[in-house]
């Protein structure tokens, strides 16, 4: 199993950052058939071979992803994609 941990600061404020992460979650659902739900300010997601959470706070977003064996082989590519998405979604 492979793990990804990414922390990113932002200046969007809590509600705007949550809105942006909701968009990310909708894309995960559409593109990867991932299920998700909010637990307070934490977006929890799961799909076959991967699960994780995105913790959103006033000035920070923390992404933790656990990849199963098959997706673990693609960890670098997946991590790059997460970083690109965060760059795009958290830019004011």
Q: How far is CA 35 from CA 11, 28, 46, 57, in A?
A: 28, 8, 5, 22
Domains of the chain: 2-89 (3.30.310)
Q: Is pTM beyond 0.75 here?
A: yes
* Number of helices followed by number of strands (H, E) in the chain: 3, 5
The residues near 75 (Cβ < 8 Å, ≥ 6 apart) are 2, 4, 67
Asked if 65 and 78 count as a contact pair (C-beta separation under 8 A), the reply is yes
pLDDT in tens, 31-78: 889 999 999 999 999 999 999 999 999 999 999 999 999 999 999 999
């Amino acid at each position: 199993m492979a793990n990804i941990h990414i922390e990113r600061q932002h200046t969007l404020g809590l509600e705007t950052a949550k809105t942006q992460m909701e968009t990310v979650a909708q894309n995960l659902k559409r593109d990867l058939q991932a299920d998700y739900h909010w637990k307070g300010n934490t977006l929890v997601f799961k799909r076959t071979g991967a699960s994780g959470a995105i913790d959103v706070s006033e000035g920070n977003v923390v992404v933790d992803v656990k990849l199963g064996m098959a997706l673990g082989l693609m960890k670098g590519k997946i991590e790059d994609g997460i970083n690109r998405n965060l760059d795009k979604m958290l830019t004011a």
